[in-house]
Amino acid sequence: MGFTALVSVSDKTGLIDFSRRLAKCGADFVSTGGTARVLRESGLPVRDVSTVTGFPEMLEGRVKTMHPRVHAGILALREKEDHMSALARHDIHPIDLVVVNLYKFEEAVAKGLPLERVLEEIDIGGPSLVRAAAKNFPHVTVVTDPTQYERVAAAYESGSVDFALRQRLAAEAFAHTARYDTIIDQYFRHHVLSDDFPPSLNLSFTKVQDLRYGENSHQAAAFYAGKPTQEPSIVNGKQLHGKELSYNNIVDADTALEAVKDFDRPSCVIIKHATPCGMASAATASDAFRLAFACDTYSPFGGVIAFNREVDEETAEAIGDLFLEVIVAPSFSAAALERLMRKKNLRLVEVRGLQTRGRWGGLQYRSVVGGLVVQERDILEPNIKNWKVVTRREPTSMELRSMLFAFKAVRHVRSNSVVFVKEEHTVAIGGGQTARVDATRIAVQKGGDRIRGSVMASDAFFPFRDGVDEAAAAGVAAIVQPGGSIRDDEVIKSADEHGLAMVFTGQRCFRH
């Protein structure tokens, strides 16, 4: 069977093999610029699109396919006599197959090219061809991605491209152009308008993988990635060992990474059910793990651990037989891998770049039924120069150091939350409570004697003095909190009565 195929692709992966298979099925190729050259060099007969339009490519290739003789050949409804008569009257041949993928705009943006170069990567004719072919899918097959080549070639080799396949390809084509336009919109929104919260918000995500299930086994789920980022994240992690990551693994790993990125020294964060149960910085990764684990020795069972330094053999030995779901680190030594991979189900994920602390801004999205709430990520660095001592007793230099660690730690615990810290490791964590005093009581109960002499951090102000009284009774030495309550005087009075040092940061860090 003979058919006309219009081929114009930016990504030429697999093109020659695909075109040769089509040629054996009777394809008459019409093409443009570099695509036509590649086809000719491979020995395939091809007509330039200018032989169809009767008009040369112009403006350095900016205008090639935008012509009635091309679009009429794609859009004509074959069952309508007047459509086919119009084609015949103007000597226009129907186009049956459109193979188009678009200029590499996303790559140009990722390379940081200047505006004038980025503009040249905005495809105009390509999306028009794709949309025209997709609109007329009952008669035209549209191919927008090399991953579709096998399906389409096999269909032509079988004798026909059935309606169901053309319809599916059309749906994929509209998704392709929608994503392309969304990426352009995001570029102009961020780089030209500097508007993170526009009247209309367009987002684009690409599926990384289907997941076995969601939070529970009766919920379907998938993992998607947004625009490429160089910031260390679970999205650009490389799994080295273990079962596929689950929905909960991904959420917990993200929480662990966000926390461990807050610390400069070798650090370890242990996460259970999307909240920390131990955090520590120390001289080595193994010491950091031991200190983090000591904070709560029973909650880490089935948890997720993140390190900001390589996991070496000593660290792997310190982890020992502890049952974990995931370990995330910038690298694993060969000896550590050999030891940890004895646990066949333990997921080991390498996330490069964690050694260099830092975040790159951006937005957070949270779904509600029927919509989203959007906010900037909470990456504001604490500035000790702006902290205010509000008690008679000043904190010691060690207490200030612990306060800084505690402040960074508490903002990763679900609100209402408090943490108790000695030097640079948590000794107790209380979070996820509707009353701050309850969070304090939980932490005190877990910390026991380890609370004595520690520093306490709260993610928001104390609405009453009861939380301070509870902490003081357990032996806390100093408190860091945002301040700002109408009862601040009462809270400060409690701290003074107990001989505590208290600092106001002026910076709340709720985490729901």
- Which CATH number does the domain housing residue 92 bear? 3.40.50.1380
State the pLDDT at residue 82: 85
The alpha-helical segments, DSSP class H, found in 111-218 are 115-120, 125-135, 149-158, 163-187
Residue 136 sits in the same domain as residue 255: no
| 93, 273, 343, 493: the active-site residue | 273
Among 48-52, 370-374, 501-505, name the most confident range: 501-505
- Give a yes or no: residue 368 inside a domain: no
Considering the domain architecture, whether residues 112 and 248 belong to the same structural domain is answered as no
Angle at the Cα of 40 from the Cα atoms of 32 and 5, rounded to 5 degrees:
50
Residue 61 pLDDT: 65
Are 423 and 313 found together in one domain?
no
What digits encode the pLDDT tens for the residues 129-171?
999 999 999 999 999 999 999 999 999 999 889 999 999 999 9
CA distances from 179 to 47, 205, 207, 287 (A): 31, 8, 12, 46
Residue in the structure block whose two tokens are 């028009």: 128
My answer on whether 135 and 258 are in the same domain is no
Tokens 């990125």 locate to 261
Domain end: 133, 167, 192, which one?
Answer: 192
Candidates 505, 221, 507, 295; CA nearest to 390 is 505
Rg (CA), the chain: 30
Residues 83 and 175 in one domain: yes
Task: Name the least confident of 192-201, 380-389, 425-434.
Answer: 192-201
Phi-psi region of 379 (alpha: psi -120 to 50; beta: other; left: phi over 0): alpha
Domain boundary among 296, 330, 350: 350
pTM (two decimals): 0.86
pLDDT per position as a tens digit, 292-336: 999 999 999 999 999 999 999 999 999 999 999 999 999 999 999
Domain membership flag for residue 335: yes
Over residues 90-112, the pLDDT tens digits come to 888 898 999 998 878 877 777 77
- Point out the domain boundary residue: 311, 335, 350: 350
Residue 363 lies in a domain: no
- The pLDDT value given to residue 60: 64
Residues 183 and 254 both lie in one domain = no
Residues 386 and 283 in one domain: no
Q: Give every CB contact of residue 438 below 8 A, 6+ residues apart in sequence.
A: 416, 430
* Shared domain check, 430 and 385: yes
Same domain for 343 and 401?
Answer: no
- Total of domains in the chain: 3
Residues 6+ apart with CB under 8 A from 439: 416, 417, 418, 430, 431, 432, 433, 467
Residues 6+ apart with CB under 8 A from 303: 252, 270, 271, 272, 277, 324, 325
Instruction: Indicate the pLDDT class of residue 217, thresholds 50, 70 and 90.
Output: very high
Q: Residue 509: pLDDT above 70?
A: yes
Q: Are 457 and 430 contacting, i.e. CB atoms less than 8 angstroms apart?
A: no
Average pLDDT, the chain: 91
Is 135 a known active-site residue?
Answer: yes
- Residue 503 neighbours by CB under 8 Å, 6+ apart: 387, 388, 389, 390, 395, 400, 403, 478, 479, 480, 481
Residues 52 and 166 in one domain: yes
Judged against a pLDDT cut of 80, whether residue 58 lies above it is answered with no
Q: Is residue 357 part of a domain?
A: no
Tell me: do 43 and 156 sit in the same domain. yes
More confident position, 181 or 54: 181
In eight-state DSSP terms, residue 63 is B
Domain that holds residue 110: 3-192
Q: Catalytic pick from 67, 93, 104, 135?
A: 135
* CATH number for 265: 3.40.140.20
343: left (phi over 0), alpha (psi -120 to 50) or beta: beta
Q: Is 24 annotated in the active site?
A: no
Burial annotation 345-362 (CB, 10 A radius, 16+ → b, else e): ebbbbbbeebeeeeeeee
Q: Do 457 and 309 belong to one domain?
A: no
pLDDT tens per residue across span 64-80:
667 878 888 898 888 88
Q: What is the pLDDT of residue 424?
A: 97
Largest CA distance in the chain: 98
